[in-house]
Amino acid sequence: MNFSDYINDLVKHGKCSFTAQQAQSALNKSAEAIYSSVKHLLTKNELATPAKGFYVIVPPEYQILGCLPAEHFIPYLMEYWQCPYYVGLLTAAGYHGATHQAVQVFQVMIDGRTKPQILCGKVKIRFIANRHLPETPVQSISTAKSMLKISTPEGTAMDLLNYSHQSGGLNHTATILAELQESMKQDQLLVLAESQSTLAWKQRLGYLLEIIGATELADVLKKHLAQQKRVDYIPLMPGIEISNAARNVTWKIIENATVESDI
């Protein structure tokens, strides 16, 4: 079997990626020989390499991107890296129907390690470290080439408030929540709230849900917070001090910023 036959066989079996080690093993060739074959197809845009030693097969319809869409190969790349993950934040929100604003970067939550951003052709992937990765509820969805792990609507909402810098700010988060609320379930939000000891995200999320009119979801968090022994006042927007800012008694929120959804 030559290298072209190997690639064709992968495609026939529905696979879209391979590693240098896998190719060496299948073809019984040296690393240098494999790299020489790979280099030829890279120049023709028939292969792309989003990470060292990891290659994706790029069919003609995606060659204008210079890579496969991230959703096709992320599960295989994470397996190659042996890195726990889930797709989160604005990218996950998009899968749950919050598509009001196009996401330019594919956002992947990983465990406490750091990974550099990937730029493969026009495909951009950003990795965000989450030391509490296993605590976020996830689900699997089917893509054209993979089973992709994404945060649930409720887990996505939590992350949007915990990682506000990666979520585009309060107004953008409120806009996303206005669409995301349609996919959120009250019972699942309660389960998540009860499993998390941190209160700040619950206060901010409840406050925003109330603003966008998602009162039933907001009430879930309101009742949960009422059962806590102590809920301190926190700023709506971390890092901004306004001495005379109004205080929302219900959510114990210092209103140091105004919120306007685009919807």
Tokens 């295989």 found at = 76
**Which domain covers residue 80, as residue numbers?**
70-255
**pLDDT in the model for residue 100:** 67
Answer whether 251's CB lies under 8 Å from 206's CB.
yes
Answer whether 16's CB lies under 8 Å from 7's CB.
no
> What one-letter code names the amino acid at 53?
G
Our count of domains for the chain comes to: 2
**pLDDT in the model for residue 101:** 66
Give which of 107, 122, 27 is closest to 69, Cα–Cα: 122
**pLDDT in the model for residue 117:** 96
Q: What angle do CA 66, 71, 74 make, to 5 degrees?
A: 90
In this structure, the answer to whether residues 155 and 48 fall within a common structural domain is no
**pLDDT in the model for residue 208:** 97
Asked if the structure places residue 15 within a domain, the reply is yes
Tokens 């190997």 found at = 6
In this structure, the answer to whether residues 180 and 131 fall within a common structural domain is yes
Question: The domain spanning residue 74 has which CATH number?
Answer: 3.30.460
Class of residue 246 by CB neighbours under 10 A (exposed 0-12, middle 13-18, buried 19+)? exposed
Asked if the structure places residue 263 within a domain, the reply is no
Asked if the structure places residue 262 within a domain, the reply is no
In this structure, the answer to whether residues 131 and 238 fall within a common structural domain is yes
**pLDDT in the model for residue 49:** 97
Bridge partners, 235 (sequence order): 254
- What's the distance, Cα to Cα, between the start and end of the chain in Å? 56
CB atoms within 10 A of CB 53: 14
**pLDDT in the model for residue 204:** 97
In this structure, the answer to whether residues 58 and 74 fall within a common structural domain is no
In this structure, the answer to whether residues 17 and 129 fall within a common structural domain is no
Look at the pTM and tell me if it is higher than 0.85. Answer: yes
**pLDDT in the model for residue 74:** 98
Give which of 191, 201, 54, 183 is closest to 115, Cα–Cα: 54
In this structure, the answer to whether residues 145 and 108 fall within a common structural domain is yes
Instruction: Show the low-confidence residues of the chain (pLDDT under 70).
Output: 100-102, 262-263
**pLDDT in the model for residue 168:** 87
Phi/psi of residue 109, each to 5°? -90, 130
Q: Which residues contact 49 (CB under 8 A, 6 or more apart)?
A: 38, 42, 55, 56, 120
